[in-house]
Amino acid sequence: MLYGAMKVAVGGPLKVAFRPWVEGLENVPADGPAILASNHLSFSDSFFLPAVLDRKVTFIAKAEYFTTPGVKGRLTAAFFKGVGQLPVDRSGARGAGEAAIKSGIEVLERGELFGIYPEGTRSPDGRLYRGKPGGLARVALATGAPVIPVAMIDTEKIQPPGKVMPKLMRPGIRIGKPLDFSRYQGMEHDRFVLRAVTDEVMYEIMKLSGQEYVDMYATAMKRQLAEAAKAEKEAEKAAKAALVRAEKEQAEKEKSEQEKPERRRTEP
C-alpha cells in the first residue's frame, strides 16, 4: 500500500517532468519472480525504473539510509521503504554480500521482482564496469529466476556531481529479453560458473546501453580516481608552498641588495 502511494507521489511527477522513454517493457513478466539486472549511472536509477513498471521492484540500499537519527533520518527511511528498497549493512563486505543475497532470495520467493546493480556501485565516468559475481549470479542460481538485463541511458546527465538543480531531459530505459541460467542450477558455489553468468549478463547490458566496457571493478576505478585526485591536490599544495618559499627568498635577497648601499654610506 505504501509502495503504491509512493509510486503515485514520486513516480507520477518523475514521468511527467522527465518523460523517460522505454523499450522492451514486454520483456518484464506480468507475474512471477524475475531479476532486473541494470547498469548504474545515477542515484535516480532506482526511481526511474520502478516508475515505468506496473509491478513493484525491490532494490537493495545501504543501511545508513534507514538508521540516520532525527526527523530528516526518519523521513528518509520512510521514503526508501516506500519506494521498495531494503536496508543492507555494508560495514563488512562479506556480511553485506550475504545479506543482499538473502534479501534477494526472499523477494524472489515471494514471486516479486528483485532489482540489482551487478557493478556494485555507480559508474564513476559513465562507462560500464565489470560485474561482481557474488550477488547477481548466486541469487539467480539459488532461485532459478530469469535475469532481465536493463540499460539506464543518460540518467547521469540529469544531475551531474556538483549540480544542485536537476536538468530536465529525457532519460531512456532499454529492457532486454530474459536470460535463463537453469543449466547452472545447483552450481551457485562454483566461482567459474558465477563469473560466466555475470559476464553474460554484463555483455547483454553493454549491448543494450552502448556503453564502453571496462574490464575492472568500478570500486577499483573509484579508488584510483580518489588517489589520483589526492596526489594532484598534494602536488598543487607542494607547488604553492615552493612558490611561497621562492617568493620569500627573492624578497629577502632584494631587501639584502637594497641594504648594501645603505650600509656602505653609514660605515665610518
Could you tell me the residue ranges of all domains in the chain? 2-216, 217-268
Out of 16-25, 68-77, 153-162, pick the least confident: 68-77
pLDDT of residue 53: 94
Distance CA 80, CA 97 (A): 20
Q: What does the alpha-carbon distance between residue 99 and residue 101 come to, in Å, rounded to a whole number?
A: 5
pTM, 2 dp: 0.82
- Of 140, 135, 110, 104, nearest in space to 121 by CA: 135
Is residue 21 pLDDT above 60, yes or no? Answer: yes
Strands 147-153 and 172-175: antiparallel
Helix (H, G, I), strand (E, B) or coil at 219: helix
Tell which CATH architecture fits domain 2-216.
3-Layer(aba) Sandwich (3.40)
Least confident of 53-62, 94-103, 157-166: 94-103
pLDDT at 100: 81
Contact 125, 211 (CB under 8 A): no
Q: Are 135 and 116 in contact (CB under 8 A)?
A: yes
Determine how many CB atoms are found less than 10 A away from the CB of residue 1.
6
Mean pLDDT computed over every residue of the chain: 86
Contact yes or no for 35/108 (Cβ under 8 A)? yes
Q: In this model, does residue 80 exceed pLDDT 80?
A: no
Residues 82, 6 contacting (CB under 8 angstroms): yes
Average pLDDT over residues 239-262: 80
Predicted pLDDT of residue 95: 53
Residue 75 — pLDDT band, cuts 50, 70, 90?
Answer: low
C-alpha cell at 209: 546501453
Instruction: Give the mean pLDDT of 36-65.
Output: 87
Cα angle at 65 between 168 and 73, to 5 degrees? 95
What pLDDT does 213 receive?
97
Q: How many CB atoms lie within 10 A of CB 121?
A: 14
Rounded to whole angstroms, how far apart are CA atoms 121 and 141?
A: 22
Question: Cα(first)–Cα(last) distance of the chain, in Å?
Answer: 100
Q: What are the contacts of 93-98 at 24+ separation with CB within 8 A? A: 97/134, 97/135
